[in-house]
Chain A
Amino acid sequence: MKILFNEFIFSKSCDLFIRPYIFDKPDSLTDEKLNRQLQYDIAARQGPMRNLSSKRNYETDMYSSKLNCYIFLVISFIYHCSSQEDKYNEELYIRPLSTGHTYFNLLFTTVVSPDILKSNIIHHYHLFPKVIADIVRSNGVSEFHVSLTQGLWRYDHWGMPIVGAPPGAEIWAWFKPNEQQDVTSRWKSFVHELGGLLCASLNFLDSNVSTSSPNYSFRPQSILPVSSTSYQDNSFLRYAVLPREIVCTENLTPWKKLLPCVAGGSNHKGLAGLLDNAPKLYNSVYHSLRMDLRQICTNTECTSTQLELSMALAIVVDTTSSKPDHNEWTFRSIFGSNVAQTCSLSSLANIYVDLQLSQTHSFNISPEPDYSIKQGSKPIIVYDLHDEKRKNTTFSLNCNYKKQQTVSTDNQEDRSSPSIVVHRYATGYGVRDGGIKTMIKLNEEQKQDQITLVYFEQIPWYFRIFLHTLKITMLDNNRTEIKPDHLSYIPGKDRELPYQLELVITTKQSILISFELEMVFLKWNEFPPDPNHGFYIPSAVISTMLSSNNKSNNILRSLQSYSLNQSLSSAASDGFVRLYSESLLVNLPTPDFSMPFNVICLGCTAVALAFGGLHNLTTKEFTFGEKRPRIPFRQRLEDLRFRVIAARHALAQRVFRSNQQQREHVE
């Protein structure tokens, strides 16, 4: 029975992962020693499963059956620690955009049992990156979302992204209640560890200076059993942004290494193979790396939960070709490589091409798609890389399309504008006072029913917001002012706390949110290098639920599953979107950085002048004294001249005398 069970496991799923550990051991080891060594090794090496798939073709026959039996016992133990339902999905979503750009979104989703976060067990992490599990477990994080973005997503031209991100780095995390350490210190160590892991400057976020806890905007995205979904206090949430953060290959490399099918060198398997050529990925107008961890339900009844780690890379590449109105790209031109082999760890490897533009453009895509699905009125064609016919072949996608001249465009363009577009501007001139105006535009379709917007703004303390100047006006002809349904405001504190403003607005119209701010005069050593570059105001965040009849023109990631496969197939998407406005660059008044010593001297002189004069007056008395004869100026000059001549004479004599002495001494 036992043997049967072991064999069953062996044949089913363990062979892929465990066997390489076996073969790493030299033959000379005794059974017992090997067993211990093996246990140790497995515990130590359960990080990202690298170098595994390449070794899976080794033979097993050289080991005795007895040894095998022991190993299987260990294997079965480890296997029971992890879940049987671990899944790894690879997806690539491609959408040609009307501006001539193309949007590529690589999505790697790992679903594992939450048991790996329990402490005091030797874990088998399976497909899940061990480092992430360690960070999450030691800091009591219940879910986190981090994004590193370069460039700005242009909503009005490109529609909605799969998931939005502000320029720079953004991170938000919910912490588990009832842990020993307080949330602030856990957040601090969490961002430090994550920053180290991703080679990003997230360690600048640790203090309260750039961190806030929004009330309404960043609710947990974990889906928990109904019994435990009590309202969570926002004191367990931390949100922070670094708008100035620059994203580069040094962030991509460690991020990439967390994927199961990424090997050393450049022989990655599956869709991760597209990440081989990092410089190519940065030759884009928009580049966004992200990582989301949360809990999801295992089944529809939600009796138990699973851990879902979703890692996504979104790039927008200019794919216009030299011919007018003509676009052309291949995997090799975008990524510098093709999908050489499938990753056999993945249970799903799909490529979706969203043909929104098919009404105005004629497409020519090779190879032929496996099947197509319809989202709204737009077709999406799908390639399944796990299909039998693609086994052991290189997959490459070629796409070229051009604009059809015949179709009238004005009608089309109106329809393709997304439901909500947000723009933000800094107002005012000079470096003393200013303001921010945020325009939230709804399209005609959206204006038919009311929409509830949650507007969130986190402004660094060196911009002082005046809440009484906050105005929300409709962008219709009357410019009527409206009141927010809820307003949550935490005033900032100099050098301690950012300003945090959150509004819940119900509207049918496009609106304009404006308020005034004042620039703070900073100390000379509070400026970053290049102070005249300016200071960033992070993006405003607008979260909303689009009504269900109004998402024809964009893919919305459903909250049920981050995996696109389910979002595309399930009709009942919840319509949750989060938009990020532009981040603003504002100049602050600068002092003269070369002046510290001069200013200290001058300031002290002014005080000394006052003190000297007044001290004199309090200590001296008026008296009548003898008048000294006045010496005329010429006389004084003459005296001075005589004195100088005398001094010179004396000096010359002394020099002469010393010279003489020296000479005598020599003689």
Chain B
Amino acid sequence: MPDTFESTYVCIGLAVRVFLFFQTRIRNYFEESGEFVTPLNSWKRVIEGIYLRKRDISPFAGSIVHETPLSLFFYSKLYAITHGHVEGLFIAADLLTGILTYRIAKRVLKQLFNEEATEKSKYNQESQPLWLKKLNIQKSAYAVLLCCMINPLSIGTCLAKSSLVFHNLLLTITFYFFMTYQLLPFIVTLCLASSISVYPVVLIAPALLQFSKSGANNRSILRIFLVIILFAIVSAGILALNFFLNHKSWSFIESTYSFIFHVPDYTPNIGIFWYFFTEMFDHFRSLFVWTFQMHVLLLYLLPFTIRLRHDPIFLFWLLCAIFCTFKSYPAYGDAAFYFNYLPIWSFLFRYVRHSLIIICMVFVALIMAPITWYLWIYTGSANANFYFAMTMVFNVAQTFLVSDLFYAYLKRKFLLKNGLTIPQVNGFEGQLEFN
């Protein structure tokens, strides 16, 4: 039974979305905005794909459609059921994402609280002010729900009818199953999510940590293999399903996975790929494509997993944040996905070093990006560099946010064990060092 706060927040979210969907001008703005809509998730392209399928032309013959056959099939069914009026579905999916995020937040906080309770004996009693409190847990969870409902980035993504809404729902469900320790549903949703946008593949690392726990502290190799094999089997199954849905042709690989990996489309978005590869010299192109993709997919995977081997939940969120920032075609919807979880980590905020800088950078980027876009595309009085500067600012802000939260997480862990007062070292006054 939802309590008053929950229902109020959901109602607010619903009202805002429904109201804005009736404002055609605002809606059109979001539908055409490059920050919210990328070639990968534009609804206009999905409709084109559905239309081409209906005309018996392969949607993957051209370079307009970049959805997988499975998701295209799913959207065409949605489109047929609603007779083209899909707005309601988008609102429903967005609200569902919000509610699930709230549930996840509650579970995450409860689990962290329980873990702390069992480990309290190891903690320094001095660090009591840092301990999680029941009251704060509920407040943080409410904040997560409210954030989901009124986050302008989420609302914009919903209004733009970006298929990212459904993708985010899928990722959220994955996170939910991750929290509830349901292996099979988790693997299925994870495989679905990664079959659409590739990058969620990295979430297999926190899954291995989460699902391989057999006792208090030891992991079983058998379970690790089970997870990997399951993942491989389900992925292969989804690939085969795509293959059969595409009339037994592999043509979709080029317009989906190769499109994501090789970044042939330079439509501006909020990432760094587009302008970087617009200006790239041809003979260095493949080097930098591989470098940038490895940076997202592999570079952080092992160090993070080793460092956060006892905290798979934080690792899950951190990896999401990394690939949402550095993926090849990011949109505000990707950023919104991990921004919405931020209130969970409110107990870390006191150790964030550059909070003012980060907030300012995010706001500057949010406000200036549409302005520089307008100046470049419509009035012609500015050029691409201005817009690129804004996407860079947003990127760097996200980088700072992620690294600061990581830092705060580590610092809090250290202080929980060692207390808040700094002891004397070698008879002299001591200080906290990070080296």
Q: Is A122 an interface residue (CB 8 A)?
A: no
Interface residues of B in 362-415 (CB under 8 A from A): 376-378, 380, 383-385, 388, 392, 395-396, 399-400, 402-403, 406-407, 410-411, 414
Interface size in chain B (residues, C-beta < 8 A):
72
Residue of A nearest to B304 (CB): A618
Q: For A614, give its contact among B406, B422, B425 (CB under 8 Å).
A: B406
Tell whether, in the assembled complex, residue A592 and residue B383 are in contact, meaning their CB atoms are under 8 Å apart.
yes
Q: Is B3 an interface residue (CB 8 A)?
A: no
Q: How many Å lie between the Cα of A592 and that of B382 in the bound state? A: 10
B64: A residues at CB distance < 8 A: 464, 466, 491
Known contacts A611-B299, A624-B422: A491-B52 contact under CB 8 Å: yes
Q: How many Å lie between the Cα of A491 and that of B58 in the bound state? A: 9
A524: B residues at CB distance < 8 A: 278-279
A525: B residues at CB distance < 8 A: 282
A595: B residues at CB distance < 8 A: 279, 385
Interface residues of B in 226-248 (CB under 8 A from A): none
Tell whether, in the assembled complex, residue B57 and residue A491 are in contact, meaning their CB atoms are under 8 Å apart.
yes
Q: How many Å lie between the Cα of A491 and that of B45 in the bound state? A: 13
Q: Is A494 an interface residue (CB 8 A)?
A: yes
Q: For B63, give its contact among A432, A493, A590, A602 (CB under 8 Å).
A: A493
Tell whether, in the assembled complex, residue A614 and residue B32 are in contact, meaning their CB atoms are under 8 Å apart.
no
Q: How many Å lie between the Cα of A80 and that of B392 in the bound state? A: 78
Tell whether, in the assembled complex, residue B265 and residue A494 are in contact, meaning their CB atoms are under 8 Å apart.
yes
Known contacts A595-B279, A595-B385, A617-B406: A493-B62 contact under CB 8 Å: yes
Q: For B279, give its contact among A494, A600, A624, A627 (CB under 8 Å).
A: A600
* Residue of A621, A622, A628 with most chain B CB atoms under a 10 A cut-off: A622
Q: For A626, give its contact among B51, B264, B278, B430 (CB under 8 Å).
A: B430
Tell whether, in the assembled complex, residue A607 and residue B384 are in contact, meaning their CB atoms are under 8 Å apart.
no
Q: Is A430 an interface residue (CB 8 A)?
A: yes
Known contacts A521-B274, A603-B272: A609-B266 contact under CB 8 Å: no
Q: Is B110 an interface residue (CB 8 A)?
A: no
A607: B residues at CB distance < 8 A: 272, 292, 295, 326
What distance in Å separates the Cβ of B310 from its nearest Cβ neighbour in chain A? 14
Q: For A599, give its contact among B265, B378, B388, B403 (CB under 8 Å).
A: B388
Q: How many Å lie between the Cα of A615 and that of B268 in the bound state? A: 29
Q: Is B428 an interface residue (CB 8 A)?
A: yes
Q: Is B115 an interface residue (CB 8 A)?
A: no
Tell whether, in the assembled complex, residue A606 and residue B272 are in contact, meaning their CB atoms are under 8 Å apart.
yes
A492: B residues at CB distance < 8 A: 62-63
Q: How many Å lie between the Cα of A618 and that of B402 in the bound state? A: 13
Q: Is B119 an interface residue (CB 8 A)?
A: no
Per-position binary interface string of chain B over residues 411-435, scored 1 when its CB falls under 8 Å from any chain A CB and 0 otherwise: 1001000100011011011111111
Q: For A490, give its contact among B61, B278, B399, B426 (CB under 8 Å).
A: B61
Q: Is A467 an interface residue (CB 8 A)?
A: yes
Known contacts A466-B64, A610-B326, A614-B403: A599-B276 contact under CB 8 Å: yes
Tell whether, in the assembled complex, residue B422 and residue A589 are in contact, meaning their CB atoms are under 8 Å apart.
no
Q: Is B44 an interface residue (CB 8 A)?
A: yes
Q: How many Å lie between the Cα of A522 and that of B264 in the bound state? A: 10
What distance in Å separates the Cβ of A276 from its nearest Cβ neighbour in chain B? 47
A591: B residues at CB distance < 8 A: 275, 278-279, 383-384
Tell whether, in the assembled complex, residue B384 and residue A494 are in contact, meaning their CB atoms are under 8 Å apart.
no
Q: Is A231 an interface residue (CB 8 A)?
A: no
Tell whether, in the assembled complex, residue B51 and residue A523 are in contact, meaning their CB atoms are under 8 Å apart.
no
B435: A residues at CB distance < 8 A: 620-621, 623
Q: How many Å lie between the Cα of A339 and that of B266 in the bound state? A: 59
Tell whether, in the assembled complex, residue B402 and residue A614 are in contact, meaning their CB atoms are under 8 Å apart.
yes
Tell whether, in the assembled complex, residue B425 and residue A432 are in contact, meaning their CB atoms are under 8 Å apart.
no
Interface residues of A in 547-585 (CB under 8 A from B): none
Q: Is A383 an interface residue (CB 8 A)?
A: no
Q: How many Å lie between the Cα of A524 and that of B407 in the bound state? A: 39
Q: Is B307 an interface residue (CB 8 A)?
A: yes
User: Binding site of B, secondary structure by majority: helix, strand, loop or mixed?
Assistant: helix
Per-position binary interface string of chain A over residues 409-450, scored 1 when its CB falls under 8 Å from any chain B CB and 0 otherwise: 000000000000000000001111100000000000000000
Tell whether, in the assembled complex, residue A620 and residue B434 are in contact, meaning their CB atoms are under 8 Å apart.
yes
Tell whether, in the assembled complex, residue B303 and residue A618 are in contact, meaning their CB atoms are under 8 Å apart.
yes
Tell whether, in the assembled complex, residue A468 and residue B63 are in contact, meaning their CB atoms are under 8 Å apart.
no
Q: Is B252 an interface residue (CB 8 A)?
A: no
Per-position binary interface string of chain A over residues 208-229, scored 1 when its CB falls under 8 Å from any chain B CB and 0 otherwise: 0000000000000000000000
Q: How many Å lie between the Cα of A590 and that of B266 in the bound state? A: 11
Tell whether, in the assembled complex, residue B272 and residue A624 are in contact, meaning their CB atoms are under 8 Å apart.
no
Q: How many Å lie between the Cα of A492 and that of B407 in the bound state? A: 48
Q: Is A461 an interface residue (CB 8 A)?
A: yes
Q: How many Å lie between the Cα of A590 and that of B51 in the bound state? A: 31
What distance in Å separates the Cβ of A472 from its nearest Cβ neighbour in chain B? 15
Tell whether, in the assembled complex, residue B268 and residue A624 are in contact, meaning their CB atoms are under 8 Å apart.
no
Known contacts A606-B395, A623-B435: A466-B48 contact under CB 8 Å: yes
A497: B residues at CB distance < 8 A: 62
Q: How many Å lie between the Cα of A81 and that of B201 in the bound state? A: 73
Q: How many Å lie between the Cα of A464 and that of B64 in the bound state? A: 7
Q: Is A596 an interface residue (CB 8 A)?
A: yes
* Residue of A467, A602, A607 with most chain B CB atoms under a 10 A cut-off: A607
Interface residues of B in 252-279 (CB under 8 A from A): 264-268, 272, 274-279
Known contacts A432-B377, A592-B384: A521-B51 contact under CB 8 Å: no
B265: A residues at CB distance < 8 A: 494, 520-521
Tell whether, in the assembled complex, residue A625 and residue B62 are in contact, meaning their CB atoms are under 8 Å apart.
no
Tell whether, in the assembled complex, residue A609 and residue B431 are in contact, meaning their CB atoms are under 8 Å apart.
no
Tell whether, in the assembled complex, residue A489 and residue B377 are in contact, meaning their CB atoms are under 8 Å apart.
no
Residue of A nearest to B292 (CB): A607
Q: Is B179 an interface residue (CB 8 A)?
A: no
Q: Is B300 an interface residue (CB 8 A)?
A: yes
Q: Is B281 an interface residue (CB 8 A)?
A: yes
Tell whether, in the assembled complex, residue A430 and residue B377 are in contact, meaning their CB atoms are under 8 Å apart.
yes
B400: A residues at CB distance < 8 A: 613
Tell whether, in the assembled complex, residue B403 and residue A610 are in contact, meaning their CB atoms are under 8 Å apart.
yes
What distance in Å separates the Cβ of B199 from its nearest Cβ neighbour in chain A? 15
What distance in Å separates the Cβ of B427 from its nearest Cβ neighbour in chain A? 9
Tell whether, in the assembled complex, residue A523 and residue B403 are in contact, meaning their CB atoms are under 8 Å apart.
no
Interface residues of A in 307-349 (CB under 8 A from B): none
Tell whether, in the assembled complex, residue A622 and residue B411 are in contact, meaning their CB atoms are under 8 Å apart.
yes
Q: Is A285 an interface residue (CB 8 A)?
A: no
Tell whether, in the assembled complex, residue A606 and residue B392 are in contact, meaning their CB atoms are under 8 Å apart.
yes
Tell whether, in the assembled complex, residue B376 and residue A626 are in contact, meaning their CB atoms are under 8 Å apart.
no
Tell whether, in the assembled complex, residue A603 and residue B276 are in contact, meaning their CB atoms are under 8 Å apart.
yes
Q: Is B47 an interface residue (CB 8 A)?
A: yes
Residue of A nearest to B62 (CB): A491
Q: How many Å lie between the Cα of A489 and that of B53 in the bound state? A: 12
Q: Is B216 an interface residue (CB 8 A)?
A: no
* Residue of A490, A499, A521 with most chain B CB atoms under a 10 A cut-off: A521
Q: Is A487 an interface residue (CB 8 A)?
A: yes
Q: How many Å lie between the Cα of A538 and that of B299 in the bound state? A: 47
Q: Is A477 an interface residue (CB 8 A)?
A: no
Tell whether, in the assembled complex, residue B396 and residue A624 are in contact, meaning their CB atoms are under 8 Å apart.
no
Q: Is A619 an interface residue (CB 8 A)?
A: yes
Known contacts A607-B295, A622-B410: A491-B61 contact under CB 8 Å: yes
Tell whether, in the assembled complex, residue B433 and residue A624 are in contact, meaning their CB atoms are under 8 Å apart.
yes
A602: B residues at CB distance < 8 A: 388, 392
Tell whether, in the assembled complex, residue B399 and residue A615 are in contact, meaning their CB atoms are under 8 Å apart.
no
**9 interchain residue pairs of minimum CB distance:** A491-B62, A618-B303, A468-B51, A603-B276, A613-B403, A622-B414, A625-B433, A599-B279, A610-B399
Q: A467-B52, A610-B325 are in contact. List 5 more A-B contacts (CB 8 A).
A: A521-B267, A590-B384, A606-B395, A618-B304, A626-B429
Binding site for B on A (CB under 8 A): 429-433, 461, 464, 466-468, 487, 489-495, 497, 499, 520-525, 589-592, 595-596, 599-600, 602-603, 606-607, 609-611, 613-615, 617-628
User: What are 6 pairs between A and B in contact, CB < 8 Å?
Assistant: A432-B377, A522-B266, A589-B377, A609-B399, A620-B434, A627-B429
Binding site for A on B (CB under 8 A): 32, 44, 47-48, 50-52, 55, 57, 61-64, 264-268, 272, 274-282, 288, 292, 295, 299-300, 303-304, 306-307, 325-326, 376-378, 380, 383-385, 388, 392, 395-396, 399-400, 402-403, 406-407, 410-411, 414, 418, 422-423, 425-426, 428-435
